[in-house]
Structure 1
Amino acid sequence: MHLDHAVTYPHRHTHSAAPRRADGSRRALRIGLGGPVGSGKTATVAALCRALRAEYSMAVVTNDIYTREDAEFLLREAVLPPERIAAVETGACPHTAIRDDISANLEAVEELEDAFREQAPLDLVLVESGGDNLTATFSRGLVDAQIFVIDVAGGDDIPRKGGPGVTTADLLVVNKTDLAPYVGSDLDRMARDAAEQRAGLPVVFQSLREEDGVHTVARWVRERIAAWVAA
């Protein structure tokens, strides 16, 4: 087997959802969060909701294969009112519902936007993928930007291994840095490998056990919202 050949990954769908509704009003910015099972996607979504809910009108769409466990977690944590959280049961591989057949997710997003259109139009919708592997990417017809979440407990070689989630996401989050001493992960090595794989795209290291541990990611989201509104 030859291992020195160039590796290419399938591109996300190039078509984009229109930034404006039929009446000319601007729709909400849509940000997708993907990553492997247990990497901390739902905890990151919850932390972002707590950090941003006083500043923006926002909602969340979660994806699980056969359950609504992630949505139920967010409801138990009371990060947003129940009517601002929607759950999609994909019934198949999670990346299918965020990359290939996005109809169920797109319907959930649009229903949330319609529900709040009159009282407080949504500024932001977070779409959380079900737990997947390093190939998970979102269709550009569903989201405007993608955050990919990995964790140090999964191994410090993950950034080096790459995959489209690691290499092409608009933001890579290396989560659970507090566990590094206990699982033998080298954070400096992960930072070097991520920088090499991502060719200048941003990388954030975070621990949600720290006070305001989601601060850097929340700031990145704020910047994206500001750019979206100004465009």
Structure 2
Amino acid sequence: MKTAARVGIGGPVGSGKTALLERLVPRLMQQGVEVAIVTNDLLTQEDADRLKRNGILPSDRVIGVETGSCPHTAIREDPTMNLLAIRALEKAHPQLDLIFVESGGDNLASTFSYDLVDAYLFVIDVGAGDDIPRKNGPGFMQADLAVINKIDIAPFVGADLDLIRRDAIDRRRGKAIAYTNCKTGEGLDQVVGFILETVLFRSSTVLSSH
């Protein structure tokens, strides 16, 4: 059976993980990528239900996992529930190229096991403060791609976007960073390009197609 590539999406509650997925999936599908999603919530399937309602994918390509415990456990210490959901998707949809695994909202220490994913994105938002990159959270520091989201709100929350950029570059030490606004689409092509080139090993035409 064919196995799909897997990309994790982690980050604190409210950072915009689900909104990011809602914008990434159509762009990837335009590039011919067959996508499915596994979401993680503590005791609900709220994020899965939202994605199904929005119709970005057929509902049978979205599975919600109720972790019942700290989000760290399901994506790092014991990812069994997520692995079972992934296998179910691969069995039902053997044409899949990529499966996203969205973590439940967690803190800056949240990281993914590479037994679960091939690469992971860590999402923070400008509204949480311009000191977040300096906190050296393992999720932000170690992620394959750090996504700094909601850049449009910086003037309204008193955040210094230039400072965020400088600190992110300093702390990440050459690892990839994207700055996004999910409302306008700014920065999303960079995220799609990262996934195509780094995870799926495809030449990216996305930067010239949007």
Short-chain TM bin: over 0.9
* Identical pairs, percent: 50
Question: How many residues are aligned here?
Answer: 202
* Coordinate RMSD, CA, aligned: 1.5
Judging changes above 3 Å, is the alpha-carbon distance between structure 1 residues 213 and 227 closer, same or farther for their aligned structure 2 residues?
A: closer
Structure with greater helix share of residues: 2
Letter in 1 for 2:4: A
Establish whether residue 61 from structure 1 lines up as the match of residue 35 from structure 2.
no
Q: Among 29, 36, 44, which residue is 2:20 paired with?
A: 44
Q: Distance in 1 between matches of 2:72 and 2:189?
A: 28
Residue by residue, what CA displacement relative to the aligned partner does 1:171-230 show, whole Å, maximum 9, x if unpaired? 00000011000001111111111111111001111101114652221111111244289x
Letter in 2 for 1:124: L
Q: Distance in 1 between matches of 2:52 and 2:186?
A: 21
Aligned counterpart, 2:208: none
Letter in 1 for 2:6: R
Q: Distance in 1 between matches of 2:185 and 2:38?
A: 26
Q: Distance in 1 between matches of 2:24 and 2:139?
A: 20
Aligned counterpart, 1:8: none
Provide TM-score, normalisation by structure 2: 0.92
Establish whether residue 115 from structure 1 lines up as the match of residue 92 from structure 2.
yes
Report SS of the residue matched to 2:124: strand
Establish whether residue 87 from structure 1 lines up as the match of residue 73 from structure 2.
no
Q: Distance in 2 between matches of 1:107 and 1:209?
A: 33
Judging changes above 3 Å, is the alpha-carbon distance between structure 1 residues 73 and 48 closer, same or farther for their aligned structure 2 residues?
A: same
Report SS of the residue matched to 1:227: coil
Unmatched 5+ stretches in structure 2: 204-210
Letter in 2 for 1:193: D
* Matched-pair contact (CA < 8 Å) for 1:60–1:128: yes
Unmatched 5+ stretches in structure 1: 1-20
Residue by residue, what CA displacement relative to the aligned partner does 1:137-163 show, whole Å, maximum 9, x if unpaired? 011100000100000000110001111
Judging changes above 3 Å, is the alpha-carbon distance between structure 1 residues 81 and 38 closer, same or farther for their aligned structure 2 residues?
A: same
Judging changes above 3 Å, is the alpha-carbon distance between structure 1 residues 146 and 225 closer, same or farther for their aligned structure 2 residues?
A: closer
Q: Distance in 2 between matches of 1:76 and 1:223?
A: 30
Report SS of the residue matched to 2:6: strand
